[in-house]
Amino acid sequence: MMKSLIKIMVVTFLMVLVFGSVSYSETLVRLDHPDLDDINVIGFELKKKGEIDIEAVGLRLKYRDDLNVYTWIIDYDTREPVWVMKDTRTSKVKGRRILRMAKASETLDKGKYELYLYSGSRLFSGISIHGTGDFFEFLGDLFKNDRYEEFEDYLDDCYVELSSDEISKGDIKIFDVNGDLPGALIKFNKLGDYEYVKRGFTVDTPMNLHIYAIFEFPSGNRTPVDYGWIIDADTRDKVWEIDRWNTDWAGGSRKNRKFDDEVHFKKGDYILYFVTDDSHSYELFNANPPYDPLNWGITILPGKDFKPSAFHDYEPATKSEPLIDFTQAQDNDYYEQPFKLLRETSLHIYAIGEYSYSNHEFVDYGWIQDAATGKMIWEMTSRNTQHAGGAKKNRMFDDNVTLPEGEYIAYYITDDSHSYLDWNDSPPFDPKSWGLAIYPAPEFKKEDFKKLSSADITVGSNILVKMVRVRDHEKKRDKFTLDRQTRIHIYAIGEGDRDEMYDYGWIIDDRTNRTVWEMTWRNTEHAGGARKNRLYDDDIILDPGTYEVFYITDGSHSFNDWNSPKPRDPINWGITISIVEK
């Protein structure tokens, strides 16, 4: 009897020892049944450190290198990923040909985290043809009844589950995630397509501000297509802007970029801008999103030496009446306006136009020339403009330009497509400003600016010959005399190819009847537009004497009658010769 009792006690003790030491894994967080092209997110806060077991089923379409449906976890405070489901670390789900399973364990510190489950079809990702959005929407509808339905069936099996045998449900707190960062001074997150936002702010004393921005910068592009920058409100100088070199990969698609750093600001007033194009945003990502998708856009936070009492909102002044207004420009428009400055003056130029990435030049654009010499003083270029919202070819110049005393001509021209009220792709954020407008800049004095007519323009004493705006079937000639050896500048635009020139100029010495200079393919460079547009822009030295200048054209492709894309400076088709001032 005693032996039996002892056996029962031993067995009971062993059962308590064995089963009492077994720990059961408890489900803490789960996301499942994602919708097509959706981002599911849940926040969780761990009250203690512990190991988390992760089990997830995602999806990879055939012939793709990365997952279409996958999951990840980011740290709430650092916004950095602590775990990401990667295709190389997944295995096939038996009997489900495109499903992929991941199992992992991660030790997470006490703190707050965000769990994401993304489901993107991206059947047409990698195709980028501007102006064809409606067509691809049609294709999406066309395939929805077969491939999309198949894709959606698999979504029901996709999920992510976090469990632990070290952390219980009592050690975790669930919270909603909206992407807002604590202490934000300025917040423009969850931005969608076609967004344009700006905000002014003032710092009363020098300080650092923390800028956190997530945006799109496709590989191969020289500039971002979702773009942020900050200017000094008084000088219009850029004090900060996004580029490839000051940003890092933001996770997901390689075109997702991130700026996350402190920037020093001097005392002054500033304006923050941010614009997005017509695709790939929080509204709908057309490729895998960044790890922190809810912060697509820009947020400004306190820096390390931030002084709350020295930071204020600032309302930027509205633009005054323009001095020159070429806005709402339409197809095949041409504008010009001479003006005179009686002293060195700063002008604020606001211009929006179209840049051809295939030809690497503007086709709708503005510029300013010296009225006498035709010399280019300012022009829109790919480097001094930024994305204007909408299609990436929309470019904008918004800055101050200082010009010396003198006479000038402002120009703006457009080609035969994509302009105000007749867009062939997404319009810019400010469509009514398509064109060019010139405004007063700080310290501008009204009496120092005067509009002129073409008849009012003074031909400078250094101009020897000016034969421009030459049309078809013309032969122009003029003479000039030099009383000493002189350096002259020749600015000539014409038409030619490697075999011969068709619209071109030359100079003959009257005494010897010999040609002392002639436009050729070899001594000219591309003038913009069609490759046959050629430019000579250089100095030569001539001895004392009388010289005759000729310029001839053939029967096609000349001023205002182009049969191919016009040159960048069509107004000066012809030749201008001036004395180089010492």
pLDDT digits (tens, 9 = 90+) for 519-544: 999 999 999 889 999 999 999 999 99
Mark residue 360 as left, alpha or beta (left: phi above 0; alpha: psi -120 to 50; beta: remaining): left
In this prediction, residues 449-474 reach a mean pLDDT of 86
Q: Which of 137-141, 326-330, 388-392 has the lowest mean pLDDT?
A: 137-141
State how far the alpha carbon of 516 is from the alpha carbons of 503, 504, 508, 548, 550, in Å. Answer: 18, 14, 6, 10, 12
User: For the residues 233-260, what does the mean pLDDT come to?
Assistant: 92
Beta strands in 109-158 (DSSP E): 111-119
**Rg of the chain, C-alpha, whole Å:** 33
CB 509 within 8 A of CB 545: yes
Give pLDDT, residue 437: 97
- In the prediction, which pLDDT does 61 show? 81
pLDDT at position 220, please? 79
> Tokens for 192?
């969608």
| Local confidence band at 582 (pLDDT 50, 70, 90 cut-offs) | low
| pLDDT at res. 360 | 84
pLDDT band at 123 (very low <50, low <70, confident <90, very high): very low
Query: How many CA atoms lie less than 13 Å away from 452 in the CB half-sphere?
Result: 18
Closest CA to 374 of 97, 580, 576: 576
pLDDT digits (tens, 9 = 90+) for 5-42: 555 555 455 554 444 444 567 999 999 999 888 999 99
Q: Is the confidence at residue 493, as pLDDT, over 70?
A: yes
The answer on pLDDT for 121 being more than 90 is no
User: Are 347 and 400 in contact, with CB atoms under 8 Å apart?
Assistant: yes
Alpha-carbon span 462 to 234, nearest angstrom: 37
Mean pLDDT of 450-458: 82
415: phi then psi, degrees, rounded to nearest 5:
-95, -155
Top pLDDT among 255 and 317 is at 255
Average pLDDT of 484-488? 95
pLDDT surpasses 90 at 65: no
Band of the pLDDT at 146, cuts 50, 70, 90? very low
What the block records as the tokens of 195 is 């967004």
Alpha-carbon distance of 119 to 34, in angstroms, equals 7
pLDDT exceeding 70 applies to what percent of the chain? 90
Q: Is the pLDDT of residue 490 over 90?
A: yes
- Average pLDDT of the segment spanning 218-224: 82
Residue written as token pair 């006690």:
9
pLDDT digits (tens, 9 = 90+) for 325-370: 999 999 989 899 999 999 999 999 999 999 998 888 899 999 999 8
φ/ψ of residue 543, rounded to 5: -75, 165
Residue 458 pLDDT class (50, 70, 90 cuts): low
pLDDT value of position 331? 94
Cβ atoms of residues 192 and 389 within 8 Å:
no
What is the reported pLDDT for 97? 79
Residue 137 has a pLDDT of 45
At 9 the pLDDT is: 52
* pLDDT of res. 132: 43
User: Cα(297)–Cα(347) distance, rounded to whole angstroms?
Assistant: 31
Residue 288 has a pLDDT of: 94
pTM: 0.71
**Residue 25: what pLDDT?**
79
The C-alpha atoms of residue 199 and residue 188 are separated, in whole angstroms, by 10
* Residues 502, 555: Cα–Cα separation, whole Å: 9
